[in-house]
Structures are given as structure tokens and as C-alpha cells.
Amino acid sequence: MLRFRSLGSGSTGNAALVEATTSAGRTTRLLVDCGFGIRQLDRRLAQAGLAASDLDAVFITHEHGDHIGCAHALSLRDRIPVWMSEGTWLATGGRDYEGRLHLARDDAEFTVGDLCLQPFTVPHDAREPLQLRCTDGNRTLGVLTDLGHATSHVLARLRGAHALLLEFNHDSDLLAGSAYPAFLKHRVGGNYGHLSNTAAADIARAVLHDGLRHVVAAHLSEQNNRPEIVRRLMADALGGDEAEMLTATAAEGSPWLDV
Ligand SMILES: [Zn+2]
Ligand SMILES: [Zn+2]
């Protein structure tokens, strides 16, 4: 069985749990990003019924603070292996993880316990950002936040996924009319920034199939988005209730969802 849960998502911090349990009852837990302070992460893990010591590994998508957060402190405190790209590692100073750092790269599959992870490159203004396809060999979750636009490579890696944690960052009109300075509007809305709602809905539409069970909207801008706009676009893209649609908030994330 594969399930996941957002522990919070937005520019103030991102983290998601992915958990595989075998028929023999063996459980593997991966944390994708840990963009919070360590006490805040502990609190959010506790709300999910877990402690940091229950984690088998952490995967970091890129070096922005809302994703890498307390990765180094967590890894050292709880002796947890961490996976990230070499670019992400170098961009954060090439710190010593006491032998627990593993370098990930585009299309190089690796396993953590009973989880098979397939990182893939995305266009974003970080040094070597990777997003992640996660499978237990039966069900598949696609994690996709922090990218400026979809590429054929990105779409290919999400095809067949039974659940998506998908960035719906901003409404383009709200962003254009916001108080953000021009350079920031340009960065967020640019090809190496963040997905607009319509771009995200296009991705959902492109990878929609009968087996798609959940789409969780993630990384919503607090200033330049509204959950009701996201829900309307998701419903348009996914055709009503074929898949369960949820919006992960910065404060609370999402509940556990079976993939
Ligand atoms: Zn981010
Ligand atoms: Zn980012």
C-alpha cells in the first residue's frame, strides 16, 4: 500500500510524507523536502502520528529554504540518510552529512526500503532541481512543485501516476495586479519560476487517466491565489469527481491519502 500526506505547502515551507507498506506489514517512510525549522517539523510529524526517528530517508528537491529547511540538522540529529542532487548539495555549501548524503540525478532510479524513487529534472531557478516519481511497484505518486513550465520530460515522468502532489502557485491576473515588485512578478511568472493555475491544470489534463485517484494542489501563493479558483480549474481539468481534489494549505497540509 502506498499513501502520502502533505505536512504543509507554500512559500513558507514544504514537506510531504510518502509511505509504502508491504503485505508483510513492513513500512518504509520517505520525507520529500523538510522546509521547516526542526521543531516545527517535529510538531507536524507528530500531527501525522510520527516522529523523525520513523523516517527512513529524506529527499530534497532543491536548495530554496522552503524546501531544504532543516535537512542538515535533521539528518545529523536522527541519523537519517538524505538524497539530493549534487547541484543542490553544492548550492548549500557542500556540507558534511557524516556519510549519510546520497547524490541523486535526473532519471537515476534508486530505492529506499520498499519505495522506488525516480527523480527528474524540472525548469526552476535553482542549481539542479529534481522532482520525484514514487512507487511501491504497484501504485505511483507524482510530486511536482517549483517549476516554471511543463516539459515533455516532466509530463513523461508523471504519466500513469495514480496521485499527484501538484503545484498550483498563482493566478496570473492576481500576480500581475499584486504589490510584488516587477522583478519578482517576472521571476515567479517566468519560465524558471512557478506554475500558474492554468499551467498546472494543463498538466493535470495532460496526464489524466482512469486510474488517477487524487490530485492535491500544492505551493499555493498566499498573496496571488485563492483556493476556490484552484478548485474550479481542477474540476474543469479533471472532469468533475473522477479524481478526489484537495488543496494543501501552508498551515495544515493534507490528510493521509491512499494512492
Ligand atoms: Zn518552493
Ligand atoms: Zn523553489
Q: What is the CATH number of the domain that holds 192?
A: 3.60.15.10
CA of 16 to the centre of ligand 2 (A): 15
Is residue 188 situated within a structural domain? yes
Kindly list the protein residues that place their beta carbon closer than 5 angstroms to ligand 2, a single-atom ion: 64, 146
The tens digit of pLDDT for each residue in 43-69 reads: 999 999 999 999 999 999 999 999 999
Distance CA 77, CA 71 (A): 10
What is the model's pLDDT at position 251? 84
Give the mean pLDDT of 208-216. Answer: 94
CA of 189 to the centre of ligand 1 (A): 13
pLDDT over 90 percentage in the chain: 94
Is residue 176 situated within a structural domain? yes
CA of 150 to the centre of ligand 1 (A): 16
Secondary structure (3-state) at 243: coil
Is residue 225 situated within a structural domain? yes
CA of 25 to the centre of ligand 2 (A): 35
Is residue 257 situated within a structural domain? no
CA of 79 to the centre of ligand 2 (A): 26
Distance CA 24, CA 112 (A): 17
Give the mean pLDDT of 150-156. Answer: 98
The tens digit of pLDDT for each residue in 7-26 reads: 999 999 999 999 999 999 99
Closest among 166, 144, 169 to 238, alpha carbons compared: 166
What is the model's pLDDT at position 62? 98
Ligand nearest to the CA of 10: 1
Residue 121 has pLDDT above 90, yes or no: yes
Is residue 136 situated within a structural domain? yes
How many domains does the chain contain in total? Answer: 1
What is the model's pLDDT at position 38? 98
Distance CA 89, CA 100 (A): 12
Distances (CA, A) of 145 to 43, 104, 177: 23, 17, 23
Residue 208 has pLDDT above 70, yes or no: yes
Secondary structure (3-state) at 36: coil
Give the mean pLDDT of 199-214. Answer: 95
Give the mean pLDDT of 116-144. Answer: 98
Range of the domain at 194: 2-251
What is the model's pLDDT at position 240? 65
CA of 70 to the centre of ligand 1 (A): 14
Distances (CA, A) of 93 to 81, 86, 88, 89, 90: 18, 11, 9, 7, 5
CA of 154 to the centre of ligand 2 (A): 16
Q: How many CB atoms lie within 10 A of CB 131?
A: 25
Give the mean pLDDT of 197-210. Answer: 96
CA of 180 to the centre of ligand 1 (A): 17
CA of 23 to the centre of ligand 1 (A): 35
* Residue-level length of the chain: 259
The tens digit of pLDDT for each residue in 67-89 reads: 999 999 999 999 999 999 999 99
- DSSP class of 49: T
What is the model's pLDDT at position 234? 93
Cell 515522468 identifies what position?
Answer: 157
Ligand nearest to the CA of 129: 2
pLDDT over 70 percentage in the chain: 99
CA of 12 to the centre of ligand 1 (A): 8
Contact (Cβ atoms closer than 8 angstroms) between residue 219 and residue 169: yes
Ligand nearest to the CA of 122: 2
Mean pLDDT over the full length of the chain: 96
Is residue 89 situated within a structural domain? yes
Residue 104: band (very low, low, confident or very high) from pLDDT cuts 50, 70, 90: very high
Ligand nearest to the CA of 193: 2
CA of 134 to the centre of ligand 2 (A): 20
What is the model's pLDDT at position 245? 85
CA of 72 to the centre of ligand 2 (A): 18
What is the model's pLDDT at position 241? 63
Distance CA 6, CA 237 (A): 22
Strand order, beta sheet including 15-21: 101-104, 82-85, 57-59, 27-34, 15-21, 2-8, 257-258
The tens digit of pLDDT for each residue in 216-257 reads: 999 999 999 999 999 999 999 988 666 788 888 888 899 999
